[in-house]
Amino acid sequence: MKKERIYLFDTTLRDGQQTPGVDFSVEDKIAIAGLLDRFGVDYVEGGYPGANPTDTAFFAEKRTSRSAFVAFGMTKRAGVSASNDPGLAALVQSRSDAICFVAKSWDYHVRLALGSTNEENLESIRASVEAASAAGKEAMVDCEHFFDGYKTNPDYALACARAAYEAGSRWVVLCDTNGGTQPGEIRDIVRAVIATGIPGDHLGIHAHDDTGQAVANSLAAVEAGVRQVQGTLNGIGERCGNANLITLIPTLMLKPAYANRFETGISREGLKDISRLSHAFDELLNRAPNSQAPYVGASAFATKAGIHASAILKEPETYEHVPPEAVGNTRRVMVSDQGGKSNFIAELKRRGVKVDKADPRLDTLVALVKEREAIGYAYEGADASFELLARRTLGSVPEFFKVDSFRCMVERRFDAMGNLKTVSEAVVRVTVDGETLLSVAEGHGPVNALDIALRKDLGKYQSEIADLGLADYKVRILNGGTEAVTRVLIESHDSTGARWWTVGVSDNIIDASFQALMDSIVYKLVKNRERAGLAAE
């Protein structure tokens, strides 16, 4: 049986820009459009040319090679001809392949927001679609607030959709703009629209996530007949966000309920890039990826409990709904005080550390992890510190350097201009190959000063850590009071793209931070030698 085609429409560059704290530059938009184009979505909507300098500059050139490049904008204004509307002219003159018009389909909004009559709004829809088609561009219409409009005045909402379709719109997109419609309602209303004569292969769905159901609503619309799905990368968007394409695409492609009936423009091989796409986008936004994101999160295929880990080692399907490699992710059997030997063996094997289940050193490692986690360590979130602990217990880790002592000072004082400043200074004394080295550094806070001082001079190892950088720093207070035990987690990265977490625990936040910093450097040096050994082979 021939599968029906589902078309994927990405609105990250417009809807995503409405996310609090997100503001794309032209360069950002070019980079994101490139990611989407290479991944293979059908449509990349880039924003509203003419609305602001960024979008106008972005649409001065075509930014995609495979995907259709889409300009977004309002239908023409009531009382103005299509040929004399400046907003419509900017859309038609842009270097886009298609134009997506946003049109009011709730009579309440037509009256309140547009201040026009219902018939004037219908005429604006028809004239705008015809103008886009005459300019050689694929036309489509987002029927804004369609579901809310349908609930209050179904005849008018349907009239707006029909006006777009009959004027030649390739897609008529039904929008749940307020994000409050339920999946059952979406399904029933989409079927009602199709029953009026607008075929499903000309209908799209645009869902917002205000009840946490944007993905469910999009899938309900697909089940009811729509064949275009709109959404954003990682579900960003105004308020609670939009339908998450990073979740929708694997669901459509891997779940039999959809995969047996539909196909997208993305191949199974291409789907393996979806984790990389999601993480690359987060990196561009300078934010940490959501570890519990479906399919692509670091915890999406992670198992912590011992009985689950044992089952996964025998048969992965026991606790995995899809193979992690299908979406470019990896299986993780995490080590913690809840884990048994199976967790440890699986995690060590993944890291290239071989150990027999009967090896008494394995029992020592399990007991040591449980003992250390009881006082505050968290190894499921500190992969590098766990690996170092395991290597030291099961074998050995070279003593690259020895920290003899460190001192940290924080001074609050007035500078020569009379401005009050807080200055942090750290001194670290290390021994490398019998030579004692002393480093002093100032930093933005005591931890930063310690980090700079520790990495300032490690003798013959200095060049090896030149590309080491700190990506994240987290502090957790484990009990109350100013004397509380503190856990510090540090994320590091290097020029190879590798990222790793280390942990330190102490009743002194500086000491906990220093433990994590030292582990980060030692881990980097160990991995450098592993990579050098593989290269030599």
pLDDT in tens, the chain (537 residues): 799 999 999 999 999 999 998 999 999 999 999 999 999 999 999 999 988 999 999 999 999 999 999 999 999 999 999 999 999 999 999 999 999 999 999 999 999 988 999 999 999 999 999 999 999 999 999 999 999 999 999 999 999 999 999 999 999 999 999 999 999 999 999 999 999 999 999 999 999 999 999 999 999 999 999 999 999 999 999 999 999 999 999 999 999 999 999 999 999 999 999 998 998 898 788 777 898 999 999 889 877 655 455 555 556 666 688 999 999 988 766 555 445 666 677 777 777 788 888 888 988 988 888 888 888 888 867 889 989 999 999 888 999 999 999 999 999 888 888 889 898 999 999 999 999 999 999 998 998 999 999 989 899 999 999 999 888 888 888 876 666 789 899 989 898 888 898 999 999 999 999 999 999 999 999 999 988 775 554
Q: What's the CA gap between 453 and 464, in Å, rounded?
A: 16
Residue 327 near residue 272, CB atoms below 8 Å:
yes
Task: Please name which of 348, 286, 267 lies closest in space to residue 313, comparing C-alpha atoms.
Answer: 348
Residue that the structure tokens 């102490």 belong to: 506
Pairing outcome for strands 7-10 and 68-74: unpaired
54 sits in which H/E element: helix 53-58
In angstroms, what CA-CA distances link 507 with 308, 477, 504?
34, 9, 10
H or E element at residue 427: strand 420-432
Give the residue carrying structure tokens 């917002």. Answer: 208
State the CB neighbour count (10 A cutoff) for residue 300: 22
Host H or E run for residue 328? none
Is residue 377 within 8 Å of residue 386, measured between CB atoms?
no
Token pair belonging to 13: 């560059």
Structure tokens, 166: 């009959």
Nearest alpha-carbon partner for 222 in 245, 243, 204: 204
Cα–Cα distance between 491 and 497 in angstroms, integer? 12
Task: Work out the end-to-end distance of the chain between its first and last CA atoms, rounded to an integer number of angstroms.
Answer: 50
Task: Report the DSSP pairing between strands 7-10 and 43-45.
Answer: parallel
pTM beyond 0.75, yes or no: no
- pLDDT score, position 274: 96
Q: Are 24 and 54 in contact (CB under 8 A)?
A: yes
Q: pLDDT value at position 408?
A: 92
CA distances from 330 to 272, 276, 350, 401, 426 (A): 11, 12, 10, 33, 40
Residue type, 122: L
- Residue 161: CB partners within 8 Å, gap ≥ 6? 105, 143, 146, 172, 174, 193, 196, 198
Partner residues linked to 72 by β-bridges: 100
Q: What is the pLDDT of residue 484?
A: 77
Q: How many CB atoms lie within 10 A of CB 147?
A: 26
Q: How far is CA 103 from the centre of its chain?
A: 30
Q: Rounded distance, CA 411 to CA 446, Å?
A: 10
- φ, ψ of residue 439 to 5 degrees: the values are -125, 135
DSSP 480: S
Length of the chain: 537
Distances (CA, A) of 104 to 88, 114, 116, 378: 16, 8, 11, 52
Torsion of the alpha carbons at 259, 263, 268 and 272, rounded to the nearest 10: -90
What does the longest C-alpha to C-alpha distance in the chain come to?
88
Between CA 202 and CA 170 the distance in angstroms is: 6
d(CA 405, CA 395): 26
Q: Are strands 469-477 and 486-493 parallel, antiparallel or unpaired?
A: antiparallel
Looking up tokens 């987290």 gives 474
The span from the CA of 386 to the CA of 298, in Å, is 16
